[in-house]
Amino acid sequence: MGSHSSDDFTAKWAEHDLGEVVVSAKEVRDRINELGKQITLDYAQRPPLLVCVLKGAINFMADLMRAIELPVEVDFMAVSSYGAATKTSGVVRIVKDLDVDLAQRDVLIVEDVVDSGLTLNYLRQYLGARNPKSLEVCALLLKVGEQRVEQSLKYVGFSIPADFVVGFGLDVNERYRNLDAIYTYTGDV
């Protein structure tokens, strides 16, 4: 991880706010393909409902669902626990709820990053109360040492340091989501 690849798209407008490449664009693509193959095997007889946690997981979700060779269904949820900050507030607010019934469905939450784990813990309880057949998590990033709640994550793309990162869906004030790689953020909030 962390090597700068010639295919990493670093927009000139963003360079002054970006530090090191944490995960290159190629590493992201390769790992998503591996996750897609594993999910395809694990859910072969029961295609899951993928629940994308907006907005940060949208890039991950788009690539992941194409890497899964099953007739998956998708739905979207929006939660807020950051606001404009770079650390979670710990207070979770549902901004957009799901449109489908989860009863007796195999549900896979697709999350961009797990840091404190508070938001994910809340989501698991919230969705678990809807009686899914199974409820698992696929997170692109896990920030090492930041969890305040014990997490059991079935699929993890990368374990990374606790630095604040942007790119590949992750943002600061709605910017940097369109970068292909994942970078440390060195700018102001």
CATH number at residue 37: 3.40.50.2020
pLDDT at site 116: 81
Q: What is the tens place of the pLDDT at every residue in 66-112?
A: 999 999 999 999 987 655 555 555 677 888 999 999 999 999 999 99
pLDDT at site 8: 53
Is residue 125 domain-resident?
Answer: yes
Q: Per the residue annotation, which of 8, 63, 115, 180 is the catalytic one?
A: 115
Is residue 178 domain-resident?
Answer: no
Is it the case that residue 161 has pLDDT exceeding 60?
yes
Is residue 4 domain-resident?
Answer: no
Q: Which helix (H) or strand (E) holds 157?
A: strand 155-160
Count of Cβ atoms closer than 10 Å to residue 188 Cβ: 7
Q: Which amino acid is at 92?
A: V
Give 3: exposed, middle or buried? Use CB within 10 Å, 0-12, 13-18, 19+. Answer: exposed
What mean pLDDT is predicted for residues 38-53? 96
Q: Sign of the CA dihedral 178, 93, 61, 22?
A: positive
Is residue 172 domain-resident?
Answer: no
Domain that holds residue 107: 27-161
- Annotated catalytic residue 115: yes
Is it the case that residue 65 has pLDDT exceeding 60?
yes
Is residue 6 domain-resident?
Answer: no
Q: How far is CA 171 from CA 50, 80, 92, 111, in A?
A: 22, 13, 18, 14
The count of domains in the chain is 1
Q: What is the tens place of the pLDDT at every residue in 101-136?
A: 999 999 999 999 998 888 888 899 999 999 999 999
Q: What is the tens place of the pLDDT at every residue in 1-33?
A: 554 444 555 678 888 899 999 999 999 999 999
* Contacting residues for 98 by C-beta, under 8 A, at least 6 apart: 51, 75, 76, 77, 127
pLDDT at site 89: 54
